[in-house]
Structure 1
Amino acid sequence: MNLFRTKSIETLRAMAEKSGMKKSLSAVDLIFLGIGSIIGTGIFVLTGVAAANYAGPALMLSFVLSGLACVFAGLAYAEFASIVPSAGSAYTYTYASLGEFMAFLVGWNLILEYTVTASAVAAGWSGYVVGLLRAGGIDLPAAYTLVPADGGIINIPAIIIVMFLSILLVRGTRESTKLNRVLVIIKLATVFIFLFLAGPKVNPANWEPFMPFGFAGVAGGAAIVFFAYLGFDAVATSAEECHNPSRDLPIGIIGSLVVCTILYIAVSGVLTGVVPYTQLNNPEPVAYALRYIGYNIGSALVGVGAICGITTVLLVFLYGQARVFFAMSRDGMVPSSICKVHPVYKTPYLVTIVGAILVSAIAGFAPIGLIAEMANIGTLSAFVVAAVGVLVLRYTKPDIPRSFRCPALIVISPLAVLSCGFLMYNLPADTWIRFVVWCVIGLAVYFGYSYKHSTLNQDEAKHASGKQ
């Protein structure tokens, strides 16, 4: 079996050119797409949980560690994106550098990342909206806002928001990015309102002890808050809808990562400076901090901004999920019958609908708290493989045009592998067990279906029969 057959760069570029998807995204759109997917649940929810349970005030260092891992991986992504301007991000990059088997595993884990994360974010969106309505005197029945494990029947708000955003995505990427840009501006304004109101109230005494759980707590916090950075991968999935992907994708990836890392460090520093870290283990730590220092109106504004922030995260993850599905179905890794572009809207509508149904089922019925960490380990594994792949491609195909070359790749690539591997090491043992089970299921799918049906295998079979 030829498990390590690679797809040529020329073939990938030709497929991207004739995909039929509309090229409507600029570098600015990609930066907003990245910010839309990164600033959301992480800044409005995870900051408090990670500070209270893992890192304390040293959460700032946790974000630095996670941010560095993402910047190293992002630089590798940026070079790959300038070589292979094709949908699928790390899946496509791996197919071109390390071969089909590794590419399938990366794609399989990216599907896990997008599906699980989108489901978790949809459930979080539902919780914020239900809480906001309750504060306004509208109390929705628990039976229709909670999953069975939490005492309800079905989480209808979570399903509604997934379906609404999926309809937008089917209607057109340009329309979806317009909504994303508006919501990103609102949530950035929300973040700056928080920094403006809470910054002057910082009490350095709250930063003592700075590292209450030691460096192990900082590392554990970094592994958990890595969830906050997952979205930058979605920027790379947009390659076939960019005006100039070789130039715009590196700008979008690195630009959004830098902006978001700075904001995360600033917010975590101010948050732990105004409220003792032990009091931050709640689902709305940023809004809670403003109430704690007496800004109730500011707290309400932050609540609205958080809903906007979570909406953009969900929008981008549904977008990224559909593009990875599309790339894998086009290659025969999953049934190619769903690899269709809408004749009017020029979007991959079938994979968008299939993904929305899957996310809705999980968000509407399943308790997703335990499996959310699987998104972290799946993505980190994809980053490790991508970092190795770009180094391999630099030596095996040095003459391929690269509009962006990762500086000091011989250093950056190993740093990406080591930093992402370190974060994986610090994830809980149960997460590793579930990850291994998911990979075993993936192996069954690959050897039972994908290997035989892959387009490369079909081409090899035709070539062999032609020789005979």
Structure 2
Amino acid sequence: MSLWEKVTQKGDVKQYLKKDLKLEKTLEAKDLLALGIGAVIGTGIFILPGTVAATAAGPGVILSFLIAAIVCALSAMCYAEFASALPVAGSAYSYGNLIFGQIIGWVIGWALILEYMLAVATVSVSFSAYFSAFLKGLKINLPQAISGPINLKQHTYINLVAVLIVVLITIMLARGMQSSMKINDWMVVVKIAIILIFVAVGLFYVNPKNWKPFLPFGLKGVNAGAATVFFAYLGFDAVSSSAPEVKNPQKNMPIGIIGTLLIATILYMAVATVLTGMMPFSKLNVADPAAFALQYYQLNWVAGIISLGALAGMFTMMVTMIYSSSRLVYAISRDGLLPGFLGKINESHLPNNSLIAVATIITLLAGFVNLNQLAELVNVGTLIAFSFVSIGIIPLRHHKDLVNEGFKVPFYPILPILSFLLCLGLMTKLRPITWLAAFIWFVIGLVIYFGYGIKEK
């Protein structure tokens, strides 16, 4: 077999489905919604509506969230069709491998590894900051030495809270999805309840005059705001990683993916509406606009509750992303592109080797590395996956070994092509330094692929 034939060979659908039968099917639609909402709704729901209103869109940020949701919905429908047609582990990596060939699958998988692991590491650091602030409110101060990444000038050596929260979630997931989902489901309920408390209380302090002018920066500002808040919706794609562990995936996967986006849009728009109604938008360019607005009206008790909501939001996001990244690494190893032990399943039908490997890398990043300059790399991995999944719907429809009796993207092929073009457009908005770092990451990935993966395959 020539090099070209090796890198372009496509996975066998029947073999994929057969291998993933070993994973236990325990997840239902409500669990998928909890995973999705857990990933999508984080601390950003209390920050982005205010800062984007102040800097880009004014009260029109409400429309920015709607436009961003519509753009995301196109990709979400493409993911839903793939998950319905191919209920396999690995999400976009596996779709790429089966539809485009091994090298494209590897590139997508390598991009998603970057997205998931870096996202969790970054959020765990934010969790540590919020938790430390919470402890300070109780007159408890953590030692400087365990409060940040290695920085000899500032006398910090490890971000211990960030490490411990990742370890805690890993232990939880290693015990199985049923117990993990019960905890995650309750945390999502708490988070949504806190968002609803903010909306309900804030409504009493809304002044309609604050919505005038509604479009101070015009439609250009609304579109600029949409490009910014688009990334607030990222995470729904992680739901597709759970496909082989889902009961009746043809029905439940589309509910989980599209339902996540719908609920998230309603919550984001509700918070944006109330927040811009409580304060003139020009005053909301602060680090914590929701808390700032509440404190302005002396509603300190609600501001305190929001801090708990932020912790719950970050916790559920990390649960989804650690879970998804472990299933992704399992899927890549299952195909022989990473060491085989990472693709093993234990007696409880769980890929805990890949889970431990993923958690180890994340804890090293979270505990010892300054991630400020790397956070935007998450967007690169996401948009690459979105692009391939969107355009992949066309060859999926013509795949001779697949008969999809579940969800299908409407207005085919217009919507998949439109989704693909919109993803490419958003890529152009990323900074050059981000693309440079991404280039280095993909070079490393190709070295591993040609040095190890292609030989094993």
| Aligned counterparts of 1:55 and 1:409: Cα–Cα separation in 2 | 33
Matches within 5 A, 1:59-70: 59-70=61-72
Given residue 333 of structure 2, which amino acid in structure 1 is its aligned partner? Answer: S
- Residue of 448, 452, 456 corresponding to 2:451: 448
| Aligned counterparts of 1:298 and 1:113: Cα–Cα separation in 2 | 33
Matches within 5 A, 1:415-434: 415-434=418-437
Matches within 5 A, 1:68-467: 68-149=70-151, 151=154, 152-208=156-212, 210-211=214-215, 217-343=221-347, 345-397=348-400, 400-454=403-457
Indicate conservation of the 8 Å contact 1:159/1:364, yes or no: yes
Which consecutive residues of structure 1, in runs of 5 or more, have no partner in the other structure? 455-468
- Residue of 26, 32, 43 corresponding to 2:45: 43
Given residue 138 of structure 2, which amino acid in structure 1 is its aligned partner? Answer: G
What is aligned with 2:36?
A: 34
Cα displacement (A) at 1:284: 3.1
TM-score by length of 2: 0.93
Indicate conservation of the 8 Å contact 1:37/1:313, yes or no: yes
Given residue 105 of structure 2, which amino acid in structure 1 is its aligned partner? Answer: A
What is aligned with 1:465?
A: none
Cα displacement (A) at 1:65: 2.9
The percent of aligned pairs where both chains have the same amino acid is 40
Cα distance change, pair 393–27 in 1 and its aligned pair in 2 (3 A): same
| Aligned counterparts of 1:63 and 1:369: Cα–Cα separation in 2 | 25
Cα distance change, pair 220–148 in 1 and its aligned pair in 2 (3 A): farther
| Aligned counterparts of 1:262 and 1:347: Cα–Cα separation in 2 | 35
Aligned-residue CA RMSD (Å): 2.0
Indicate conservation of the 8 Å contact 2:42/2:317, yes or no: yes
| Aligned counterparts of 1:76 and 1:27: Cα–Cα separation in 2 | 18
| Aligned counterparts of 2:184 and 2:96: Cα–Cα separation in 1 | 29
| Aligned counterparts of 1:220 and 1:115: Cα–Cα separation in 2 | 28
Question: Deviations for 1:389-415, whole angstroms, at most 9, x for unmatched residues?
Answer: 111111343862331222112111012
Indicate conservation of the 8 Å contact 1:52/1:277, yes or no: yes
Q: Greater shift after overlay, 164-173 or 41-50?
A: 41-50
Indicate conservation of the 8 Å contact 1:41/1:228, yes or no: no
Question: Deviations for 1:416-435, whole angstroms, at most 9, x for unmatched residues?
Answer: 11222222222222222222
Indicate conservation of the 8 Å contact 2:149/2:367, yes or no: yes
| Aligned counterparts of 1:307 and 1:272: Cα–Cα separation in 2 | 23
Indicate conservation of the 8 Å contact 1:383/1:417, yes or no: yes
| Aligned counterparts of 2:326 and 2:9: Cα–Cα separation in 1 | 25
SS of the residue aligned with 1:409?
A: coil
Cα distance change, pair 398–268 in 1 and its aligned pair in 2 (3 A): farther
Indicate conservation of the 8 Å contact 1:34/1:235, yes or no: yes
Which consecutive residues of structure 2, in runs of 5 or more, have no partner in the other structure? none
Indicate conservation of the 8 Å contact 1:144/1:154, yes or no: yes
